[in-house]
Amino acid sequence: MKAGQELESFALLHSRLQRHPELALSVILPVACRMWIGVESCSRAHVEKLCRDLSTIRHPLDISIVPVEERVAWLRYDSMAPHVVSPSWVRLQKAPVLKSMDVDWNIIKYAGDLAFVHEMQNGHMVNIYLIPRLPVAIANNVSCNPNGAERTKRQTKRMPRLLHPKAIEEPQESMDIAHLLDPNVYWYPGRRHKLETIGPGIYRLNDQKDGDEYIPPFAVFTVPVEALHTDGVGPKLSELNLFAEGMAIGAKQLNFPAPSPEFMRWSYECYVAAPIEIGNKVEVDMKPGTVRGTVDDVHFDQVSICMNGTQEYITVDAEHVRRFYEVGDAVKVMKSSHPDREGWVVSIGGDQVALFDRALKEEVWMPAVFSLD
C-alpha cells in the first residue's frame, strides 16, 4: 500500500470487514511492517474484494501468501512508533483512523488539525494543545410557521477560535483585557459561560459535562502517538498566527507555559516562506488571462487565493504571485529611498506607484514595494 497510509488503510479495511465478515477472519496491522497489512482469509479472491476501490492501496494488488507456521514471525513486534519531541508540531490523523483507536471521541472533530506537542507521557502517550473548535454563528435562517409568523434560527459551525476566559465569564472589575479581542481569533459566544475547574489549571465549560478540556486559550488532549502525523508536518500561516497569538496572551495573562520565542520564530522562518501575507491583494497570470484575488492562506511555497468575482479558491506556487495596488489603498513604504512613508495610492503606472504622503502632504513616485496598513 502507499507509504504513510497504513493506519488509514487499516481503518478502512476494518470498517469494510465489519460490514462483510464473510470475506476474512481479521485484519492485522503489524507495527514492524511498513506498506503492508495482514489479512487472515481462506481465499485470495476474498482479499481482493476486501481491498477493492480503496485509494490508499496500490492496484494491482501485491499479495504475498504467508504460511501458517511463519505467521508469528511475520507479526513480530519491533517498536516503530513515531518519534515525538517537545516542542514540535504534529497533525491529528484523519477521522477514520481516530475512530478505530481508543481515544476521547471529542477529538474526532479535530481530525487533520495542527497540534502543539507539550510533553510525552509514559513513552507512548502525547499531551497536545489544539486551537479549540467552538460553535460560531455563520448565518440566520428565517422560516415561517403555519400561522405566517417568521421564525429565526441561528446556524452555527465549529470554527477554530481561542478561548479567553476573561471574554466568556461574568466580567469583574479586577479583570482587564490587554487589547480588544478579535472575534475571528477569540470565541465570542452568544451568551455567558462559566469555566468549571476539573483539575490543576484544567477547565471545562460548565454546561458541557462531557465536553472538551481546556488550558485556556487552548484545548488539551492526551492521545497515543499513533494518532498523530509526525513526518512532513507543515503549519499554515493562519494556523501559526492563531497559536502565536494564543501563546503570547497565555504567557502574559493566563500563566500558560508557552514555548520559547526562538521556537515560534523558527516555525515562521521554516514553514512560511512566501513574501506575502493573508489579506494581500494579489494577481496571477493564468490561461486565458490574469486572475486577481485576496490571499486566504500561505503554506510554505503554496498560496491559497480567493478570486475576485467568483469567490472560488485556487492554490498556486508563491513564486507566481505578485502584489497589486489600487487607487485609494492605504500603504506604508518598506524599501526604496523613502522608508516608513505612509499614505494613499493616487496613481499607478506600470511597476511604479504614486503615493500621497499623509504627513508631508506631497506626492511621490516609487517602485511598488509597499506593505498594506
Evaluate whether residue 275 is within a structural domain: no
Evaluate whether residue 299 is within a structural domain: yes
DSSP three-state, residue 108: helix
Residue 137 near residue 249, CB atoms below 8 Å: no
User: How many alpha carbons lie under 13 Å from residue 67 in its C-beta half-sphere?
Assistant: 2
- Same domain as 247, residue 163: yes
> Is residue 81 pLDDT above 70, yes or no?
no
Considering its fold, how many domains does the chain have in total?
4
- Same domain as 133, residue 67: no
CATH number for 310: 2.30.30
- Same domain as 213, residue 91: yes
Most confident of 75-79, 145-149, 155-159: 155-159
Q: Which residue has the higher pLDDT, 4 or 80?
A: 4
Confidence of residue 336 (pLDDT cuts 50, 70, 90): very low
Mean pLDDT score of the chain: 78
Q: Which residue has the higher pLDDT, 55 or 10?
A: 10
- Same domain as 305, residue 178: no
pLDDT of residue 19: 87
Q: Which residue has the higher pLDDT, 64 or 368?
A: 64
Evaluate whether residue 314 is within a structural domain: yes
Q: What are phi and psi of 9, to 5 degrees?
A: -65, -40
pLDDT of residue 373: 44
Classify the phi-psi angles of 331: left when phi > 0, otherwise alpha if psi is within -120 to 50, otherwise beta.
beta
pLDDT of residue 371: 47
pLDDT of residue 362: 83
Question: Can you tell me the distance from the alpha carbon of 101 to that of 168, in angstroms, rounded to the nearest whole number?
Answer: 33
Average pLDDT on 345-366 reads 79
Evaluate whether residue 1 is within a structural domain: no
Confidence of residue 337 (pLDDT cuts 50, 70, 90): very low
The answer for residues whose C-beta is within 8 angstroms of residue 253's C-beta and 6 or more apart is: 166, 178
Evaluate whether residue 351 is within a structural domain: yes
Evaluate whether residue 133 is within a structural domain: yes
pLDDT of residue 174: 45
Q: Which residue has the higher pLDDT, 75 or 221?
A: 221
- Same domain as 116, residue 41: no
Query: Going by DSSP bridges, is the β-strand pair 150-160/133-144 parallel, antiparallel, or unpaired?
Result: antiparallel
- Same domain as 66, residue 47: yes
- Same domain as 101, residue 37: no
- Same domain as 203, residue 319: no
> Is residue 78 pLDDT above 70, yes or no?
no
Evaluate whether residue 276 is within a structural domain: no
Q: Which residue has the higher pLDDT, 270 or 35?
A: 270
pLDDT of residue 222: 93
Most confident of 64-68, 78-82, 135-139, 152-156: 135-139
The answer for residues whose C-beta is within 8 angstroms of residue 103's C-beta and 6 or more apart is: 221, 223, 224, 227
Confidence of residue 340 (pLDDT cuts 50, 70, 90): low
- Same domain as 136, residue 66: no
- Same domain as 50, residue 192: no
Helix, strand, coil shares of the chain, percent, nearest 5, are 20, 35, 45
Instruction: Tell me which H or E stretch contains 107.
Output: none
Confidence of residue 132 (pLDDT cuts 50, 70, 90): very high
Question: Can you tell me the distance from the alpha carbon of 53 to that of 144, in angstroms, rounded to the nearest whole number?
Answer: 45
Select from 289, 308, 323 the last residue of a domain: 323
- Using alpha carbons only, give the angle 214, 121, 12 rounded to the nearest 5 degrees: 80
Q: What is the tens place of the pLDDT at every residue in 167-188? A: 676 555 444 554 567 888 888 7
Please name which of 365, 337, 364, 362 lies closest in space to residue 351, comparing C-alpha atoms.
Answer: 365
Least confident of 8-17, 104-113, 271-280, 284-293: 271-280
- Same domain as 207, residue 129: yes
Question: Can you tell me the distance from the alpha carbon of 306 to that of 283, in angstroms, rounded to the nearest whole number?
Answer: 11
pLDDT of residue 258: 67
- Using alpha carbons only, give the angle 53, 55, 60 rounded to the nearest 5 degrees: 65
Q: Which residue has the higher pLDDT, 109 or 331?
A: 109
- Same domain as 210, residue 106: yes
Least confident of 17-26, 182-191, 250-259, 272-281: 250-259
Evaluate whether residue 233 is within a structural domain: yes
Average pLDDT on 144-149 reads 65
Select from 74, 102, 123 the last residue of a domain: 74
Owning domain of residue 131: 81-270
